[in-house]
């Protein structure tokens, strides 16, 4: 029998984790549950809290996590922090499954030194984000947001039917996809169904034969920006990609182009984006992630009429919850059976 501590929240419900573990591993194990208050309570960031250096996007305090985990050998969580100090206080801990694309709430160096195996769930929300991205693109290119906001104000914008004002179809557009990982590949697959011309930039991947046969092109970032009617971001945040969309790169984009960010806020210089939307080439933008979250109520981009904004919800779907829990439960099963992990960090 293994002692398993499950730390869920109000999105990744601890009961879902438990049910999937029982399905995968049976009922013989000692399972304890803790529900954290996120998203009703915002996340913390390691730079703001003493002893949590290097950790990002987490919920919970050192004492809370240590007291709950106790003598458990295995932990499943989404947002609980695991700092060096926490690992030092949990000598029985040997395994942590993080139901996220990356273990940003884990001190990986400390985990390795403590001999704790960390696994994660890459691609857990790839379908959700890809679908959301298509919705974001359509909201901008087919003037869904523009028409909706006008009607809310009591304005009937009949002139949006004019040839010089109406939207364009994806079948006649070029969409540039930056980042070709789990999400980017799904976005491309969905766009192809619309007959869209798709170009991709990612220096670390190659296109498949199916991509080539479908007319997808792999191009430089500068080429992508200059050719695309829509640019959508999907890379991870690294030192290379941080701030990649700056004033110089926005200036390369086509007049009237649409910019979509459903990836991460640090990829974008938002001051430069504001200028590009007000005085530069961009026609509109759809923003799902931001440099600071929640965004300040007086943030200038909130005031622009050619921007659609959502509160970082692209990855939120019921299927994301169940799929991530299934992936985590399978990792638990493999650990208990002495098998190597599928997704070690």
* Residues with a known catalytic role: 264, 293, 312
Beta partners for 287? 261, 309
Strands of the sheet with 258-261, listed across from one edge: 217-218, 197-201, 174-178, 230-233, 258-261, 284-287, 307-309
* Residue with token string 């029998």: 1
Query: In the 8-state DSSP scheme, what is residue 43?
Result: P
Measured CA to CA, the distance from residue 73 to residue 59 in angstroms comes to 21
Of 40, 84, 44, 74, nearest to 61 (Cα)?
A: 44
CB 75 within 8 A of CB 53: no
Residue 96's SS3 state is strand
Helix (H) or strand (E) holding 270: helix 270-278
Long-range own/partner contacts, residues 146-154 (CB < 8 A, 24 or more apart)? 149/305
Residue 209 structure tokens: 């034969």
Hey, what are 131's tokens? 């679908």
Write the DSSP symbol of residue 159. G
- Please say whether the beta carbons of 94 and 69 come within 8 A: no
Look at residues 193, 200, 204 and name the one whose alpha carbon lies nearest to residue 169.
193
């Amino acid at each position: 029998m293994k002692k398993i501590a499950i730390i869920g929240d109000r999105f990744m419900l601890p009961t879902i984790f438990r049910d999937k573990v029982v399905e995968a591993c049976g009922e013989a194990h000692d399972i304890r549950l803790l529900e954290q208050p996120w998203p009703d309570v915002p996340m913390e960031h390691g730079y703001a809290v003493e002893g949590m250096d290097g950790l990002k996007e987490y919920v919970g305090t050192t004492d809370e996590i240590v007291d709950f985990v106790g003598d458990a050998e295995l932990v499943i969580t989404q947002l609980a922090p695991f700092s060096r100090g926490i690992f030092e206080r949990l000598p029985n801990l040997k395994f942590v499954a993080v139901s996220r694309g990356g273990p940003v709430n884990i001190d990986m160096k400390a985990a390795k030194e403590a001999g704790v195996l960390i696994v994660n769930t890459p691609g857990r929300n790839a379908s959700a984000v890809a679908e959301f991205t298509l919705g974001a693109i359509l909201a901008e290119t087919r003037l869904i947001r523009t028409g909706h906001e006008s009607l809310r104000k009591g304005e009937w914008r009949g002139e949006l039917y004019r040839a010089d004002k109406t939207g364009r179809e994806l079948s006649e557009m070029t969409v540039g996809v930056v980042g070709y990982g789990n999400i980017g590949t799904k976005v491309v697959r969905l766009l192809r169904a619309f007959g869209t011309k798709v170009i991709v930039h990612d220096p670390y991947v190659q296109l498949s034969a199916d991509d080539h046969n479908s007319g997808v092109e792999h191009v430089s970032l500068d080429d992508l920006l200059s050719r695309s009617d829509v640019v959508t971001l999907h890379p991870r945040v690294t030192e290379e990609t941080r701030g990649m969309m700056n004033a110089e790169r926005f200036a390369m984009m086509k007049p009237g182009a649409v910019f979509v960010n459903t990836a991460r806020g640090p990829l974008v210089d938002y001051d430069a984006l504001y200028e590009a939307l007000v005085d530069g080439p961009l026609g509109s933008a759809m923003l799902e992630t931001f440099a600071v979250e929640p965004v300040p109520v007086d943030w200038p981009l909130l005031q622009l009429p050619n921007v659609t904004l959502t509160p970082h919800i692209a990855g939120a779907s019921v299927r994301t919850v169940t799929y991530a829990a299934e992936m985590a439960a399978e990792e638990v099963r493999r650990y208990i059976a002495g098998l190597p992990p599928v997704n070690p960090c």
